Amino acid sequence: MRPGTAIEVRDLRKSFAVPSSDSRTLADRLKGPVRRGVRGGLPVLDGITFDIETGEFFGIVGKNGSGKSTLIRILANIYGVDSGTVDVRGKVAPVVELGVGFNTELSARANVVLGGVTLGLDRRSIEGRVDEVLEYAGVAGFAEMPLRNFSTGMRTRLAFAVSIEADPDILLLDEALAVGDSDFQERCLNELERRRDAGKTIVLVSHSIGKIRQYCDRAMLLVDGEIDAIGDPDTVGLAYHAHQTNANRQAHRAAGATDGAEVESVEVVGADESGSVPQTGRLEVEVVLKMLAERPRAGARVELRSGDGTVLFTVSDIGPEGEALRPGDRVRVRVSAENPVTPAEYQLGVRALATGPKGNPYTDSQVEWTFISIEGHGSREGGVIEVDSDFEFDVTPGGAAGLNGSSASATDASRDREVGAR
Amino acid sequence: MSAVGARPAAQIERRLPGPSALGEGWRRTWEVVRLNAVADFQQRYAGSTLGYLWTLIRPITLFGILYVVITQIFARFTDIPFYGSMLLFNIMLFTFFSEAVSGGLRSLGTGQLIRKAELPVIAMPLSTILSTTITFGTNMLVVVLWILIAGVEPTATWLLLPVVVLLLVVLTIGSSLLLSALWVRHRDVTQAWPSISRLLFYATPILFPLEVVPEGVLEDLQSVNPLAPIIAEARVWIIDPSAPGWFADRGTFAALLPIAIGIGICVAGVLAFNRRARTAGEEI
C-alpha cells in the first residue's frame, strides 16, 4: 500500500446472484435440473477504484441501490469481492447498524461485552472497560438491568458507546446514525470528528448531503455501482443533487426527447466567492441560457431548497414572444424573488425552459445546482421562513378586581388581535 | 472511554480475504462461540418460570409415554435388563442430537448477524450447538443419578461416557454444517428436519434394542444410520455390559458402514460449509 492511505480499492467488482425465477417451484424443479442463481447476474459495483487517506473523514453518498451499502460491507470484509482488491491498514470496525450482537434478555453489562466482541474487540480488553462504556453511555446506574427494559434512546447511546469503544483505526458507518434524535446524531458526529482529529479514519455512508458537507473532508458519489464524482464534498453534494433531480429528465432524454435550451451560467447577484449573500429583502439571480434548438420562446425556473432537500419555493416564467430563437443564441434572464428564508445554507436550482417547436407545451432542461448561504441575523429560533412579526403584551391582574377591571395597558387593537387568534 | 491520543503506528496492512468459515482464526472463533453460547443459554429460558427444567421435562415426558405404552400396553421387553434406564438414556442422547441439529441448521439466519458484522461464519452453528451441549451435560447428570437409583451397577466403562458425548457432538456438528450450508439456498431443510429426525428416531436402537430388531427394513435403516453404533455401544458401556454391542451384532465389516457414512457426513459438512460461508452473508 501507498504510505498514508487507510483503504485502497482497485477495480472492485461485485455482483449478486439472481435466482432464476423460472425454476422456483417444485414442479419446475422436477422438470429439469435445479438451476442455481447465476453469479454475475446483477452487477452492484462495476469496477471502482479509489483511495481513502489515513485520518480522513470520508463520505459516501448515493441513492438506494447505488451500491454504497454493499461497498461498506466489502470494506468491512462481510462480503467478498468478485474481482479486484481491497487493502486496508489498521483495525476496521463496521457499524452497519447500532447494537449488532445485542441480546435484549441480557444485562447491559453482558451486552457491552457481547456487542464489543461481535464488532471485533478482544474479550479481555472490553471486559476491563465495561464500566467506562456504561458511564459514557450514561447508563452506569442500570448495568445489571436487562436490555429489554431500556428505552430506545438508552439502547442507542449504549450501542454507540460500544462502537466507539472498539476504537478502530478505520470506522465504517452505514447510516447507523440515522436512528436517534438529532441531538444524539450531532453528539455522535462530533465524537467522530474528535477521532478523526486524533488520526483515525472515518467512512460515513449517508443520504444527507448536509451532514456530508458539514463533516467530511472528501466525499464520493456512487451511481449505479460506479463512481460518478469524488473529491470536494460540496462538488459531490451538487452532483448528487443533480442526479436526484435529473433522473426523470435523463429518462426523457433516453427516450429521445431533446432540450431546447440549457443553463450556461448562474450568478447570484451580490454573492461573494464563497456563495454567501446578505439577507436582504430580495434574492436576485442572473441566468444565462444557451439555445440548443430553434424555439419560439425560452424561460427559466428557479427553486430554492433547504439543506434536507425540502423545496421552499419554485418560481418560473417564460420570455415574451418575438423572433424565433436560434441554436447558439444566448438569453439573459434576471430573476428577482422575495427572500423569505432565515440565514442558513440553501441549494439553488435553475432550469432552462423552452417552448416546443409549435408553441406549448414547453420542455425543461436539467437543473443546475449551486449552494447559497444566506447571511444575516434574523430570528434564529428555528424554521426556514422569516416572517415579519409583532408581539404585544397584555397583563390581567389576578383576583376579583381583575375580572371586571380593565386591563392595565392594552390597546383596543391588540385586544382584538388576541381574540382573533383564539 | 479509551484514550483518543496517540498510539503506536503498528497498523497491520492486509488485503481483505472476504468472509470465511473461520474468519481470523480459531482464537476469535472460540471467543465468539463461547460468548454467544452463554448468551443463548441465558436467554433461552429468560422469563419462563421452570426455565432450564423444561429441557428435562420434554425428554422425560417422551420417555414416560413410550415406557408405559411398551411395557404395559404391549407388555414387551419386560425381560430386558434395565429397559427403562436404557430407554431414558437413549432418549436423552437422541433428543440432544435432534435439537442441536435443529438449532444448528438454521443458525446462519440468527439476527442476520453474519451480514452485519465480520464474524467467523462457523461460530453461528457452533454456538447454538455448544449451548445445547451445556444443557445436555447437566441433563446427563440427572440421567446418571436416575440410572444409579434404578440399580444399574457402575462399571469402569462409565468412564467412556465422555467418548459417547464426544462422538455424538462430532456427528451433530457435521450434520449441522451440512444442513446449514444447504439451508442458505434451500429453506426446505427447516421443514424436512422434523420428519428426518422422526425417521432417525426409529432407525436407531432407542426403543428397540439390537437383539429384538427383526431382519427387514428397520434393520436395514439401522445399518446405514451413523447414530446406531454410538447408541448401541453406549448401552453396553453404561447400562448393560452383557448386551450385544454394535460390532458383535453386525460383524466387523457391516458394522463399519454407518461409521463410514458418519465420517462422510462430517467431511461433506465441512466442505459444503466452508464453500457456502464465503457468500452466506449476502444470500441469507
Given CB atoms, is B51 within the 8 Å cutoff of chain A? no
Gap between the Cα atoms of A116 and A120, Å rounded:
7
Phi-psi region of A369 (alpha: psi -120 to 50; beta: other; left: phi over 0): beta
Residue B91 has a pLDDT of 96
Output A268 or B93, whichever has higher pLDDT. B93
Size of interface A-B (CB pairs under 8 A): 113
| A258-375: CATH number | 2.70.50.60
Residue B78 has a pLDDT of 86
Gap between the Cα atoms of B258 and B221, Å rounded:
10
Among B15, B43, B118, the residue with its CB nearest the CB of A106 is: B43
The model's confidence at residue B114, banded by pLDDT at 50, 70 and 90, is very high
Mean pLDDT in chain A? Answer: 81
Phi-psi region of A16 (alpha: psi -120 to 50; beta: other; left: phi over 0): beta
Output B4 or A112, whichever has higher pLDDT. A112
Q: What is the pLDDT of residues B132-167, one digit of tens each?
A: 999 999 999 999 999 999 999 999 999 999 999 999
- Global pTM? 0.79
Chain A's closest residue to B27, CA to CA, is A122
Gap between the Cα atoms of A68 and A106, Å rounded:
33
Is the per-residue pLDDT at B7 higher than 60?
no
Chain B's closest residue to A103, CA to CA, is B39
Q: Which whole number is the average pLDDT over A287-291? A: 91
Given CB atoms, is B156 within the 8 Å cutoff of chain A? no
Residue B258 has a pLDDT of 95
Q: Which whole number is the average pLDDT over A342-369? A: 77
Note which residues in 292-311 of chain A have CB less than 8 A from chain B. Answer: none
| ipTM of this complex | 0.86
The model's confidence at residue A19, banded by pLDDT at 50, 70 and 90, is low
Given CB atoms, is A89 within the 8 Å cutoff of chain B? yes
A194:B12 CB<8 A: no
What is the torsion angle, in degrees rounded to the nearest 10, for the CA atoms of residue B221, residue B223, residue B228 and residue B229?
Answer: 180
The model's confidence at residue A412, banded by pLDDT at 50, 70 and 90, is very low
B116:A78 CB<8 A: yes
| B14: exposed, middle or buried (Cβ count in 10 Å: 0-12, 13-18, 19+) | middle
Q: Which whole number is the average pLDDT over B244-270? A: 93
Identify the residue among A44, A95, A118 best suited for mutation to test binding to B, counting B beta carbons within 10 A and taking the highest.
A118
The number of C-alpha atoms within 13 Å of A60 and in the hemisphere containing its C-beta is: 26
Residue A59 near residue A206, CB atoms below 8 Å? yes
Distance from CA of A184 to the nearest CA of B (A): 17
Least confident of A120-129, B41-50, B130-139, B147-156: B41-50
| A5-26+33-239: CATH number | 3.40.50.300
Residue A177 has a pLDDT of 67
Distance from CA of B216 to the nearest CA of A (A): 31
Q: What is the pLDDT of residues B155-214, one digit of tens each?
A: 999 999 999 999 999 999 999 999 999 999 999 999 999 999 999 999 999 999 998 888
A86:B113 CB<8 A: no
Strand order in the sheet with A345-356: A276-278, A359-375, A345-356, A298-305, A311-318
Comparing C-alpha atoms, which of B66, B232, B37 is closest to residue B137? B37
Gap between the Cα atoms of A42 and A44, Å rounded:
6
B18:A113 CB<8 A: no
Note which residues in 193-222 of chain A have CB less than 8 A from chain B. Answer: 194-195, 198-199
Instruction: Measure Cα distances from B48 to A66, A108, A132, B60 in Å.
Output: 46, 20, 32, 19
Residues 6+ apart with CB under 8 A from A326: A291, A294
At B112, the amino acid letter reads Q
Output A398 or B69, whichever has higher pLDDT. B69
Block residue for cell numbers 447491559: A108
Q: What is the pLDDT of residues B258-268, one digit of tens each?
A: 999 999 999 99
Residue A206 has a pLDDT of 85
Domain boundaries, chain A: 5-26+33-239, 258-375
Mean pLDDT in chain B? Answer: 91
Residue A39 has a pLDDT of 47
Note which residues in 33-52 of chain A have CB less than 8 A from chain B. Answer: 36
The model's confidence at residue A309, banded by pLDDT at 50, 70 and 90, is confident
Output A386 or A333, whichever has higher pLDDT. A333
Output A290 or B268, whichever has higher pLDDT. B268
DSSP B11-80: PPEEE-----SSTT-HHHHHHHHHHHHHHHHHHHTTT-SSGGGHHHHHHHHHHHHHHHIIIIIS--STTS
A-chain CB neighbours of B36 within 8 Å are: 114
